[in-house]
Amino acid sequence: MTEIVNKYECVFVVDASLEQEQIDAIVEKFKSLIEANAKLDNIDIWGKKRLAYEINYKTEGYYVLVEFTSVPSFPAELERVFGITEGILRSMVILKEHYE
């Protein structure tokens, strides 16, 4: 039986008020996590942008877009780690393409 893999797209927003070294460390942490559990297709760092609305009294965020291919169970773990990581303002993982 073949293993099911899907293409996913993930955007996360890091608190832009952190030092650049801290931001880079958070981005690298998630890049490493994705590479260890999935196939990293693309990472696009958008950088510092103004937020559409305040999140935790912050008006700017550091945006990162990641595209990856993985088994269906990994995105839930990724969302869990986003939720417990200090410095992450928002994150979203969506299914781009479903393969069987």
pLDDT of residue 3: 77
Render pLDDT for 6-17 as a digit per residue (tens, 0 to 9). Answer: 999 999 999 999
Please check the confidence at residue 100 and state whether its pLDDT lies above 90: no
Render pLDDT for 22-77 as a digit per residue (tens, 0 to 9). Answer: 999 999 999 999 999 999 999 999 999 999 999 999 999 999 999 999 999 999 99
Name the region of 43 (left: φ>0; alpha: ψ -120 to 50; beta: rest): beta
Domain limits of the chain?
6-98
Domain covering 6-98, topology:
Alpha-Beta Plaits (3.30.70)
Render pLDDT for 67-99 as a digit per residue (tens, 0 to 9). Answer: 999 999 999 999 999 999 999 999 999 998 766
Length of the chain as a residue count = 100
- Cut 0.75: pTM above it: yes
Percent of the chain with pLDDT over 90: 90
* 33 token code pair: 């996590």
8 Å CB contact between 13 and 63: yes
pLDDT of residue 2: 65
